[in-house]
Structure 1
Amino acid sequence: MKVSDVMSHGCLTCQADDTLHDATRKMVMRRCGSLPVVDDANKLIGIVTIRDTMLPLYPNFGEYIHDAKTGRDFEDMEENYKRVMCMKIRDVMTPDPMTVASDTPVLKAASFMGLKNLRRIPVVDDGELVGMISIGDINRGMFIQNG
């Protein structure tokens, strides 16, 4: 079985100039945990996860320790939210993510995902994004479609 047999086609994408707000909204509305980042020619240039878009909102460890003693100013956090949500995807995305080709064996893709602790991988043929494959896609393909 090949990746092309189980992958998701026509996946939702974003671009490097999109804001964190726009990309996060897409992920929340479509209930997906990541988006491939493409250029105008649909060439994959990165990937962004919901975690990537949310981490800038939270204090780092040093700030957390300091705030645990003095108390957190939630009004400042709201102001920070407005600033962070205007940031660009290019500032938080992972550039040049691991990919697989559509003719890659499914078990090989699953092995890559296991080794790198990934839940989904972009599928790229000839430099162009053609879809995504997830753990769920692999499980459906192996245990439901093939019985």
Structure 2
Amino acid sequence: MGKVKHILQTKGNSIFAVAPSVMVYEAIEIMCEKNIGGLLIVEEGRLVGIFTERDYARKIILKGKSSKETPISDIMTSNLVTVDSETTIEECMQVMVSCKIRHLPVVDDGLLVGIISIGDVVRSVIDEQKVIIHHLETYITGQA
């Protein structure tokens, strides 16, 4: 099975991040503009948290807070689960399911190198299955 580095090679390792002092509203604007479901929180070059649509729904909307007056540091998830670029896709799936998360920051040797989503993982699995099916069809029909 493939590894996280293969996903990053395909999708790129663009990182969208903000400082902990940014207001939630601004973070939501960035997520909307970039069409992403999660935003990393970085302070002095160090990953300190993640903010997702789920955080917004549960910690702002349902609690009646103002997104224009709440710094993202107040509601970000700071107990992060991360993977490195050598982690297998299967391991990522297990982590995402067991931790009930949809985004995994990728950290190599202490440096943030990207982020993958459940969508990236599913796409990777489907692509790999297509290759296997093609190889099997070629083998069975003798077109090798």
TM norm structure 2: 0.77
Tell me if the contact between 1:100 and 1:123 (Cα under 8 Å) persists in the aligned partners.
Answer: yes
- Percent identical: 30
Distance in 1, matches of 2:126 and 2:90, equals: 13
Report SS of the residue matched to 1:29.
helix
Amino acid across the alignment from 1:100: V
Q: How far apart are 1:59 and its partner, in Å?
A: 4.5
Higher relative contact order (CA 8 A, sep 6+): 1
Report SS of the residue matched to 2:93.
helix
The gaps in structure 1 that reach 5 residues or longer are 61-79
Q: How far apart are 1:52 and its partner, in Å?
A: 2.1
TM norm structure 1: 0.76
Superposed CA RMSD: 1.9
Distance in 1, matches of 2:127 and 2:91, equals: 19
Does residue 49 of structure 2 align to residue 46 of structure 1?
A: yes
Does residue 35 of structure 2 align to residue 36 of structure 1?
A: no
- The answer for the alignment partner of 2:136 in structure 1 is none
Q: How far apart are 1:146 and its partner, in Å?
A: 5.5
Does residue 105 of structure 2 align to residue 122 of structure 1?
A: yes
Runs of 4 or more consecutive aligned structure 1 residues displaced over 6 Å after TM superposition: none
Does residue 37 of structure 2 align to residue 24 of structure 1?
A: no
Distance in 2, matches of 1:139 and 1:94, equals: 23
Give the one of 19, 23, 30 matched to 1:15: 19
| Deviation sequence 1:83-114 (CA, Å, 0-9, x none) | x4121111111113100011111110111001
Amino acid across the alignment from 1:27: M
Equivalent residue pairs, number: 125
Report SS of the residue matched to 2:44.
coil
- The answer for the alignment partner of 1:90 in structure 2 is 73
Distance in 1, matches of 2:102 and 2:124, equals: 15
Q: How far apart are 1:6 and its partner, in Å?
A: 0.8
Distance in 1, matches of 2:93 and 2:54, equals: 22
Distance in 2, matches of 1:45 and 1:118, equals: 17
Q: How far apart are 1:11 and its partner, in Å?
A: 1.9
